[in-house]
Amino acid sequence: MPDVLVLVDHDGEHVYKSTYELLAAARRLGDPAAVVVGTPGTAGRFKESLARHGATSVYAAESGEAGEFLATPTVDALELAVRDASPAAVLVCATTDGREAAGRLAARLDAGLLIDAVDLDSSGVVTQIVFGGSYTVRSEVTHGTPVLALRPGAVEPEEHPVTAVERTLALPSVDPAASARITARRTGLAGDRPALNEATVVVSGGRGVGGAQGFEVVEELADALGGAVGASRAAVDAGYYPHQFQVGQTGKSVSPQLYIALGISGAIQHLAGMQTSKTIVAVNKDPEAPIFGLADCGVVGDLFAVAPQLTEGVAARRAVR
Question: Is position 173 annotated in a ligand binding site?
Answer: no
197 marked among binding-site residues:
no
Chain centroid to Cα 291, Å, comes to 22
CA 289 to CA 298: how far, in whole Å?
10
Q: Are 92 and 25 in contact (CB under 8 A)?
A: no
Return d(Cα 259, Cα 301) in angstroms, integer. Answer: 18
Whether residue 270 is annotated as binding a ligand: the answer is yes
Q: Is 233 annotated as a binding residue?
A: yes
Whether residue 24 contacts residue 120, with contact meaning beta carbons closer than 8 Å, is answered with no
Which residues neighbour 321 within 8 Å (Cβ) at sequence distance 6 or greater? none
- In sequence order, the 6+-apart residues with CB closer than 8 A to the CB of 268 are 132, 133, 134, 249
Is 250 labelled as part of a ligand binding site? Answer: yes
289 marked ligand binding residue: no
Cβ–Cβ under 8 Å, residues 91 and 113: no
Is 138 annotated as belonging to a binding site? no
Q: Is 232 annotated as a binding residue?
A: yes
Q: Helix H segments across 125-267?
A: 215-225, 233-237
> Is 14 marked as binding a ligand?
no
182 annotated ligand-binding residue: no
| Known binding residues for FAD | 207, 232-233, 246-250, 263-270, 284
| Known binding residues | 207, 232-233, 246-250, 263-270, 284
